[in-house]
Amino acid sequence: MRRYLPYAVIGAVFIMALISGVLFFRFHQPPIVRGTTANGKPGAEPAHIRGLATAPVALEEFGDFECMPCFLLWPALRNLEHDYGDRLAVTFRQHPMIEHRRAPDAARASEAAGLQGRFWEMHDLLYLSRSQWARADDPRAVFSVFAGRLGLDVDRFKKDLDSAEIAQRIKADWDRGESLGIDRTPVVFVNGKRAQLQSDVEQGLRADIDAALDPSKTPKN
């Protein structure tokens, strides 16, 4: 028995060292830094966020589904979401411009889908199929078809389009946009800083995200 004692002591020391190392690593990891948003009115709560809310980079878009530049921005954001994964959280805020006649109904359609847990699916479908409803005489009829395609309760969807809850959510997002001086769409903030959308919007936003992740990569003017 005694001849095994040294091995037992060595094993115990190894285990204690391993436990100490795990505890040291756990308690000395740098804190997780959550992405920040621009100071202003709060907007609709809960917000529509795609990605981890605790991601180190928070991208907030104020968009209009009928807006052509927003339509062109959409695939760029999807690429960025794919490439940055858990490091990026994307929030969409409603800001339908008054010059776009169908934009308010499109905003309501996305929010009505959101009440059934399918906001982002409707968001993507509205952009993907923009040509189907942007010139339609009755865009709500098209939106109801989309709701059925997404497996929503269509009767509830139609009722929710004019609900006070949805009107309040859209107004809250609009008020947040107004408090931040937004007068057009799309407008994008990256960690609270308004992005200067360039002709190559994806590369421009990629540079902003990289700078937010590592300030040493901030583009030089």
Which amino acid is located at 129 in the chain? S
What confidence tens digit (pLDDT) does each residue in 120-130 have?
A: 999 999 999 99
Q: Over 90: is that where the pLDDT of 2 sits? A: no
CA distance 35 to 211: 12
What confidence tens digit (pLDDT) does each residue in 59-81 have?
A: 999 999 999 999 999 999 999 99
Q: Over 50: is that where the pLDDT of 210 sits? A: yes
State the pLDDT at residue 208.
97
Q: What's the whole-number mean pLDDT along residues 4-17?
A: 54
What confidence tens digit (pLDDT) does each residue in 104-115 have?
A: 999 999 999 999
Q: Over 70: is that where the pLDDT of 174 sits? A: yes
Q: What is the mean pLDDT of the chain?
A: 89
CA distance 204 to 202: 5
Q: Is 37 helix (H, G, I), strand (E, B) or coil?
A: coil
Q: What's the whole-number mean pLDDT along residues 85-114?
A: 97
CA distance 7 to 137: 84
State the pLDDT at residue 187.
98
Residue 41: how many other CB atoms lie within 10 Å = 13
CA distance 26 to 186: 41
Angle between helices 119-128 and 103-114 (to 10 degrees): 150
Say which residues have a Cβ less than 8 Å from residue 77's Cβ, sequence separation at least 6: 59, 61, 90, 205
| Tokens found for residue 83 | 């490439």
Residue 173 near residue 93, CB atoms below 8 Å: yes
Q: Is 78 helix (H, G, I), strand (E, B) or coil?
A: helix
CA distance 64 to 158: 20
For the chain, first and last CA: distance in Å? 74
Q: What's the whole-number mean pLDDT along residues 143-151?
A: 98
Question: 28 versus 179: which is more confidently predicted?
Answer: 179
CA distance 173 to 180: 11
Q: Give just the sign of the alpha carbon dihedral 165, 171, 174, 178.
A: negative
State the pLDDT at residue 28.
47
Q: What's the whole-number mean pLDDT along residues 209-221?
A: 78
Position 218 confidence tier, pLDDT thresholds 50, 70, 90: low
State the pLDDT at residue 25.
41
Position 139 confidence tier, pLDDT thresholds 50, 70, 90: very high
User: Which domains, from first to last, does the chain contain?
Assistant: 48-217 (3.40.30.10)
